[in-house]
Amino acid sequence: MLLRRLQIQLLGLLAAATLAAATTVGNITTATKIPKCALRCLVEELPASTCPSTTLDKHCICKNHDLRRAVYDCLTLKCSVRDNFAAINITATACGVEPVSTVDISIEFYATFTTLTVIFISARMATKIAGISTWWWDDTTIVIVFIIHMATSLAGMLWGMTGTDIWALSPAQINRFLFISFIYGVRYFVNMALIKASILFGLLRVFPNKNFRRVLWGTQIFNLLFTLAMLGAWFGQCQPMSFYWLGWDGEHEGSCVDKKAVALAHAGIHLSLDVWILVLPINQIAALNLEKKKKVGAVLMFGVGIFLTIVCALRINALVDGTRPRSISTRGFWTALWSNIENSVGIMVACMPAMRILFTQLIIPKIRESMGERRHSVASSTAHSKAGTTSTCNTRPNTYSHHSRGRSLQQVLNISDIELIGERQDERERDVELGDMGDLGLGVSGKKESPATVVAQERPL
């Protein structure tokens, strides 16, 4: 409604700007740029308004709500979409009203979430380089998401997804905006599916229970089939396909199904699947025989997925607004923005276990080691000055270094019976991505499982 009122306000000045321009020789060129249907609407509606048609009071015409509404309705009925937007554009220029632009917002959000995304994906890569975790399908899928997300987000921001009022865009710019929106739809379906796949592959690393793994694989299959179905619906929603970005002006032949129905159908099932994947690990952790503090910590780590669900819900709200007539460029921008945010949050959620591992098994131990060496250095200097001997200095560093090496080895193996047995078997590249949770007993029956049971449950994927 806000955009509708704004457009009505802009149209009002056309009565003053165009008729005044047409009566002066110097402004004949300006008048000829105005669509003829718009001039007819103004000539018809101006005499019926309270504004004087002889003096053409610019202030009155711009502020007269009834006149603006009458002109708007006339333009909608008698003018083509292109002429409608041209009339609004000329009116806005005459009124001195600047079109809405969200370029600054776009840059701020892009910079913020790009930085966060790079930090999280870098943390994940650091665990691979440091040898704390091996490469598997969860890493491959999330890296693909990262590449697609970064490339399309930058391209969209540079090539038209800036949220400028649609009447201020040229027909070519509108076509480009809608084409990018179409590509963003494909990108969204693919990336959301890959993010879910990465999270599910991560759970397959951690949980050895055979029945639970079947549930995870079943969810993977459903996620794949659902994504393929939605891609088919997306590509087939308009006939021909190009009508999606060319059909806005009413001058091209073709047809589309209800675009909002396709988008909302995906959003609804997508949101439900997010909740399902969120509940899966929490349900398993709740069944473990762990002390309360450790159980809460594990639930909180997996529970960060709730942020992805929240962003998905916010995007649905923007999606509903973005499908309203005449708001496609501004509201559509917010839909694209929330899609970008959801992509970024999804990458961060998928990388959260890696971030935890990086801190608990690499950064924090290094800090402690550095602080221990510093304290020992001070103690050694004091001992030298007082006793004049080096015996004490030569003993403590070796003890600390041996302890550090032993703990580092356990950290590389994630202190997990599952991982240790895996190393002794056929060198399967499967990590326990919960950091030091491996020694908590990751049996889903509520008790620690014996090594024999774990071996029986751990099969090559």
Binding site as annotated, residues: 57
In DSSP notation, 150-168 reads: HHHHHHHHHTT-S---GGG
How far is it, in rounded angstroms, from Cα 188 to Cα 37?
Answer: 40
Compute the distance between CA of residue 213 and CA of residue 279 in angstroms, rounded to an integer.
Answer: 14
Please tell me the distance from the alpha carbon of residue 114 to that of residue 430, in angstroms, as a whole number: 29
Distance of alpha carbon 110 from the chain centroid? 10
In the annotated binding site for heme, the residues are 57
Bridge partners of 441?
A: none
Q: Which residues contact 200 (CB under 8 A, 6 or more apart)?
A: 216, 219, 220, 223, 277
Site of tokens 């007819």: 40
> How far is residue 18's CA from residue 30's CA, in Å, rounded to a whole number?
8
Torsion of CA 405, 407, 412, 413, to 10 degrees: 130
Tokens (6 digits) for 165:
């009022």
CB of 392 within 8 A of CB of 380? yes
160 and 182 in contact (C-beta within 8 Å)? Answer: no
